[in-house]
Amino acid sequence: MDIAPAGLAKYEQSKVLPMVVAMRVNRKADTCEGAVIGFDWNKAYRDTGVKAEEMAPPGGSSNPMFWIARVKMSRELARLSKTSLLGYLAEMKRFSGKAQLAEQVAAGDPYGVLWNR
């Protein structure tokens, strides 16, 4: 689910924004467990030399810098080992509950559902 950066800001932890909710649902056992995973963009900017402003330049995707910045960051991150890449990810919150929790998470702002548990 795409959530605007302003909407994500309220879930920021240690300058890391949530990126994805990973869940395992077992309907027979009526369980749902998972984690909210965040990506440390500031570390990625620092390590790749790409600036945040370059990723969101005036004019958006019609500005060539939009694409150049993404290619540069992708190239630099692709050079790293899997172990190094894992350093950009942060487990922000673990959760568990009944299987129905998966439907609640998928129905709207998933982070809002999980942060209020």
pLDDT at 6: 81
Q: Where are the domains of the chain?
A: 1-6+14-38+92-117, 41-87
pLDDT at 64: 96
Q: pLDDT tens for residues 59-113? A: 999 999 999 999 999 999 999 999 999 999 999 999 999 999 999 998 888 998 9
Distance CA(84)–CA(61), nearest Å, equals 29
109, 7 contact by CB (below 8 A): yes
> What torsion do the CA atoms of 55, 7, 25, 28 make, to the nearest 10 degrees?
-160
pTM: 0.80
Percent of the chain with pLDDT over 70: 99
